[in-house]
Amino acid sequence: MERFLPLLPEHTRFTVEQLLDEVDRVQEKLQRLENRILETVKECPKVRLLKTIPGIGKILSVVIAHEIGDVSRFPSSGHLAAYSGTTPRVHSSGGKVRYGRIPNDVNQYLKWAFIEAANCIVLVRRRLGYRHIPELYDRIRARKGHSVAVVAVARHLAEATFHVLSRSEPYREPTCRKKSVSSMNG
């Protein structure tokens, strides 16, 4: 970026330099805040488990752990996904089902955390060692678009969070459940 600054007109260059200085100051403040959060919050086993889930790092794991609390209060992974706002509203009438927007009357911090994690995964999906999440995103994006696909990934992360916390086991990539030829014939 700095190599292009001399090419700009004088007033534009001055304005861009001021804006870049402001961005640097904001990044420094954010780093201080993140360091303060990490100093204040002790890493517990729950946070360590959450960090095994793709897209969930230091800060998001703390937010998710504190917002969920005791995972046993949710009867299933679907309930946690609904609580976190990663499931669309369902409208059904006369045998027809239509999926609407994701609701707003949910835990906004969890919703933000899971969607933030999903967006992080989407940005680096080609470099991930995981296969399920990038395939899920690509399959849904082809039919429904980026926004719907990101929410689908966020739902997967919410459901994975339930399983990781309720079983006290690190995240594992889902296995493919394709039917074998012999089971289809018999």
Task: State pLDDT tens for residues 27-53.
Answer: 999 999 888 887 777 778 899 999 999
pLDDT of 24 over the 90 cut? yes
Question: Are 85 and 107 spatial neighbours (Cβ–Cβ below 8 Å)?
Answer: yes
| Amino acid 178: pLDDT | 54
Same domain, 20 and 93: no
| Amino acid 181: pLDDT | 47
The one-character DSSP state at 85 is T
15 within domain boundaries: yes
| Amino acid 176: pLDDT | 63
Residue with tokens 């992974």: 77
Q: Give me the numbers of helices (H) and strands (E) for the chain, helices first please.
A: 8, 2
pLDDT higher at 143 or 37? 143
| Amino acid 182: pLDDT | 47
| Amino acid 70: pLDDT | 93
Nearest to 59 by CA among 39, 76, 78, 79: 39
Instruction: Point out which residues pair with 155 in neighbouring strands.
Output: none
Q: What is the pLDDT of residues 144-183, one digit of tens each?
A: 999 899 999 999 999 999 999 999 999 988 876 554 444 4
Amino acid at 8: L
Same domain, 1 and 82: no
Same domain, 49 and 68: yes
d(CA 91, CA 127): 38
The DSSP string of 40-68 is HS---HHHHHHTTSTT--HHHHHHHHHHH
Same domain, 33 and 47: no
| Amino acid 161: pLDDT | 95
Count: domains in the chain: 2
| Amino acid 22: pLDDT | 96
Number of neighbouring beta carbons within 10 Å of residue 119 = 14
